[in-house]
Structure 1
């Protein structure tokens, strides 16, 4: 369905650009990041050694490489450096580091700490391989049960899910899990940590995104492509948030199941293309979700049927996709704030706070990213007020 249909619904907004600008500012200001009051009375963030005067051994676990993980780890490292846990950490030195292990190598080789060890034997990356994942979990359990590990940093949903099986005596900080409630990492998420697992999560972030997209486009049907085969793959789609939005706003959802977890990446990519080829002629808008078959490498290809049918597309997790042709995203990661919050929790845990006593309430800021070339290609005239309120505009 052509975007021309949306123009009629947006004509008031187009004529009243100033009002749109005000509306955007209001919407993006409604959900500011904040740190809620929690039950731990010890607010000491200063570095301390263990009771026997030895240093803390920190393990880092990830399902595989992902840019989000390295960015979060860099921001977290800057935070613990600010509190004195490591010395010599310079943010400008890590700007071009793209891998988690690159960041850890920098910390161990270029920085100094009298309090922390990030040993190489305490790093576990499964490289998105199920067999290696099982082996790593076995090794992690063995080392933690032997008393070699004092705290685990789990990067992503795979790692967070696996670390649930560790002893309750080992605190785990989960970063970069897109939906810890749906995957059971934090099953009772309500602003409090679950047992020994600490993670920050904004339970309304994706619901609020859908509301924002609907505010500007007033779509009646929306398409979503995702892998429905496991709770983990399903969590990346945020389908439960979309269904809640659908119920509240009367929007019809059209779903298509893709193949995300396949050893041949080309099969995953083909399933994504097939999905949008199916969805584009049936919907007023489509959501681009996180999955192996979606990346900047094949964005031009899977966007072809979407653009052909002049349908607006929204990247709900990866704003970088807007650079490569997706129309819009409100999902710019707030790495600096997240890293500092995780550094605070880390510091308080090692100073004696129980994980379950530290608040996990968090509200993500929204940024507006628009691809003006895509807007032109699908025939959507971006209201001037929306352009003015945008944080990033791509024109080529």
Structure 2
């Protein structure tokens, strides 16, 4: 299969023009300089639905942002094994800081086990109501939904959610709905992704594998895909997976099965965020798509392009969103209520492309695409 060899500038211009979002500014002026908590350190806790590589990366970049602001001594963060945050959290507790403590016994995870989520949530909320934590990180959609309520009043920062608006974590971009809740949101991120992918590849049948649940459809930004399908006239070819489960081998197998089913039927695949798309499975998924000449777009970001998917919007290793989170934390410690702070964050508009995958699937990247790419990969890592 051969794809377009030239491209108009419409999609590139669309990328470069920021969307106007009401309520995108702080409701006041708040400092970010390091301050003590009445002579003590600020105590931070953490809650996640389960292990996921983006959570590890977002936490790491947030910590780097706090280091840059002077809240934590600048220290080299060691490479982390797997997708966990638990070991990283214990390491963070030992990093020197006059201002912040990552409380060692305040790391909570439901391990993607739905049967345990309510129990872990109750345990976390009980801890928050003891008021021995000054700020809680709710990492991901499950944790964000569990803590975005009035069962506690601890400042809670919801990070790394696919769509906190669609999942009801926040009321709007301008208003989380609770004084103590803040959720970083980019309401146009997935719209940009699918538009750019369609402009570049021109697919008629887009494959999407996702868990057919409320959370799964949210992770996949299915409402956005369906809207653009109607607007642009392409078909959605669906395949259902398992995602939010504790057995990752089952989740991985379900995605691989879907890729094998989709590849002969579609001319592009939108690779959505879910448990079965991870470090263990990506190589197999890339091979299935590439063997069938199917271009892919990673919803997650450039790291998956490095591993072999064709395209994504670059996230610069989550650096920019980490800096945004760090500034938000700092403002809360300086007296801001979470709901007084801007929740809207938009990544700098750049592309990531894997040229080896482009060669395999017969895609000749336009010069405009290469000019807009700040992450270009020339090979696919060995399994």
TM-score by length of 1: 0.84
2:65 and 2:323 in contact (8 A); partners too = yes
Correspondence 1:144 to 2:128: yes
* Secondary structure of the corresponding residue to residue 320 of structure 1: helix
For 1:129, the equivalent position in structure 2 comes to 113
Q: CA deviation at 1:152?
A: 0.7
Bigger-Rg structure (1/2):
1
The Cα offsets for residues 161-187 of structure 1, whole Å up to 9 and x where unpaired, read as: 21124635211001111221122211x
Residue 333 to residue 258, structure 1, CA distance change in 2 (3 Å)? farther
Is contact 1:193-1:358 (8 Å) kept?
no
Q: Does 1:107 align with 2:92?
A: yes
Residue correspondence of structure 1 range 146-295 to structure 2 within 5 A: 146-165=130-149, 167-186=151-170, 188-195=171-178, 196-229=180-213, 231-295=214-278
**What residue is the counterpart of 1:63 in the other structure?**
49
Change (3 A) 1:169 1:89: same
1:46 aligns with 2:33: yes
- What secondary structure, in the 3-state scheme, does the structure 2 residue paired with 1:120 have? strand
1:27-84 per-position Cα deviation (integer Å, ceiling 9, x unaligned)? 442239999432124x222333446x54433211122232322322222223333444
- 1:29 paired to 2:29: no
Aligned-pair CA distance for 1:207:
0.5
**Which ranges of structure 1 fall in alignment gaps of 5 or more residues?**
14-19
Moved over 6 A (4+): 32-35
Within 1, Cα distance between the matches of 2:207 and 2:331?
Answer: 43
2:380 matches 1:392: no
| Worse-matched range after superposition: 374-383 or 27-36 | 27-36
How far, CA to CA, are the matches of 1:388 and 1:49 in structure 2?
45
Deviation at 1:334, TM superposition (A): 5.5
For the Cα contact (< 8 Å) 2:206–2:234, is it kept in 1?
Answer: yes
1:17 aligns to what? none
Gaps of 5+ in 2: none
Rate the CA distance shift 1:54–1:203 in 2: closer, same or farther, 3 A.
Answer: same
Distance 2:248 2:57 in 1: 24
| TM-aligned CA distance change 1:325 to 1:232, over 3 Å | same
Distance 1:44 1:356 in 2: 16
CA distance in 2, matches of 1:324, 1:12: 26
SS at match of 2:263: helix
Equivalent-residue separation in structure 2 for 1:388 and 1:272 (angstroms) = 33
Q: CA deviation at 1:386?
A: 2.6
Residue 312 of structure 1: CA displacement?
A: 1.4
> How far is 1:208 from its partner?
0.7
Counterpart in the other structure of 1:16? none
Q: For residues 159 and 278 of structure 1, do their structure 2 counterparts lie closer, same or farther at Cα, with a shift above 3 Å needed? A: same
| Structure 1, 93-102 or 140-149: larger mean CA deviation | 93-102
Candidates 326, 336, 351, aligned match of 2:319: 336
Q: Secondary structure at the match of 1:64?
A: coil
Q: Is the 8 A contact 1:40 1:354 kept in 2?
A: no
How many residues are treated as equivalent by the alignment? 375
